[in-house]
Amino acid sequence: MEIRCTEEGPGPGIFRRELGEQQQPTSQSQRWCCLQRGCAILGALGLLAGAGVGSWLLVLYLWPATSPPLSGTLQEEEMTLSCPGVTNEEEFLPSLPKTVSFRLNGEDLLLEVQVRARSDWLLVCHGGWNPTLGIHICQSLGHLRLTQHKAVNLSDIKLNRSQEFAQLSSGLEGHLEEAWQPSTNCPSGRIVSLKCSECGARPLASRIVGGQAVASGRWPWQASVMLGSRHTCGGSVLAPHWVVTAAHCIHSFRLSRLSSWRVHAGLVSHSAVRQHQGATVEKIIPHPSYSAQNHDYDVALLQLRTPLNFSDTVGAVCLPAKEQQFPRGLQCWVSGWGHTDPSHTHSSDTLQDTVAPLLSTHLCNSSCMYSGALTHRMLCAGYLDGRADACQGDSGGPLVCPSGDTWHLVGVVSWGRGCAEPNHPGVYAKVAEFLDWIHDTVQVR
């Protein structure tokens, strides 16, 4: 079925079939003959219609009650059938293979590195170790900071006989790609253990049972940014003292007193909020390149005066790992307290969430959708048929995507045409483009 990008007709995928007028018979015998034929045809059509309805009811009865949502990729393929200038080709050049990768393994959090084209993981010898490298490694894995590093004796752990090591080259501080030399032994007899700031875990996620209303602890990094007693925008917790939101949320109220801002985390229902609760804001830091005209660079950091107390219901989300790829069609989630109907007449007192598959930026910039309005600092996610979307009041909130058991903040709710309009999915600030600015800002302060 053709999907149209114009607003003509009853809507995408809905068609009207017009029946041609039959020529009227002139004689009584002809009328009787036609009447007999007409009855026969109507009877046949009735049998076919009955069979069709029966089949439809059978399929409806046997089909699973909770089928998964359509992937964004399938919808994109349908969309490209009639959207001028859009092809199925990826708009980005394929990324070069990473020359070095890191992971923290086991209960001892042993640092392992994979270098160049080798498939094996190497333990890192402690000789030549520098804490600055630990900071860069934690950040490259999506963590905000390094919290601990130490040396572990090889005699205290069990090793495979084939285990090899990586020696650190001297004089290459901060150059992660060039600092590692494979070695069959570790002269110092000690290896590096690294602990980064915790993020991306959902301790209470297993307690959640279906539905769109969110139970406590499902998204522990979800924050509500409030001006006085009024919810203004969503936010995402990065650390006890740091929350990221949208710059346009702050820009609209930039003349308000700093003491009027509060951040609430671990919150599900706004009706449970009492006056003077929440963390007070010490500093509001919008991205210096934010544009109010097109919402480019639409991110801001809030430094909290009073830290958030982490628990099962309050925690940090991971940033995207360096060069981490999140493919289109990936099932991500957006959450917030915004309007729950496109007419903007009803906001939700209870936190809501929905799946939002990632969509190709090339597609979203096509003439069918946003006609080139998305910059390199933006991405879009949602459904082409408008079945679910973020809306007013959700701005600044998280678009998170899973990588194994870890959740990463891929987008910040930014803008869109209307809410849940067909061919106009939600547009988000692309967090991967702001990693250096986030890390530099947090480190300086």
Query: Is 170 in the active site?
Result: no
Catalytic residue, candidates 348, 366, 395, 414: 395
Length of the chain as a residue count: 445
Catalytic residue, candidates 126, 143, 241, 248: 248
Q: How many CB atoms lie within 10 A of CB 38?
A: 12
Residues 416 and 325: their CA atoms lie apart, in Å, by: 24
Retrieve residue 388's tokens.
């679910």
Catalytic residue, candidates 296, 298, 389, 394: 298
Residue type, 132: T
CB burial string 177-190: b at 16+ within 10 A, e below: eebbeeeeebebeb
Going by their DSSP bridges, the two strands 230-239 and 279-286 should be labelled as unpaired
Please report the beta strands in 95-160, taking only residues with DSSP state E, as ranges in sequence order: 100-105, 110-115, 122-124, 146-153
Among residues 203, 231, 207, the alpha carbon closest in space to that of 351 is found at 231
Residue type, 270: H
DSSP 347-394: B-SB-EEEEEEEE-HHHHTSTTTTTT---TTEEEES-TT-SS---TT-
Coil, helix or strand at residue 271 = helix
Q: How far is CA 156 from the centre of its chain?
A: 41
Among residues 329, 411, 344, 319, the alpha carbon closest in space to that of 374 is found at 411
Q: Which residues contact 37 (CB under 8 A, 6 or more apart)?
A: none
CA distances from 240 to 203, 205, 281, 309 (A): 17, 21, 12, 7
Residues 341 and 393: their CA atoms lie apart, in Å, by: 12
Query: Is 298 in the active site?
Result: yes
DSSP 52-96: HHHHHHHHHHHS-SSPPPPPHHHHHHHHTTTSTT--SS-SSPPPP
**Chain position carrying tokens 């006989």:** 161
Task: Cite the active site residues.
Answer: 248, 298, 395
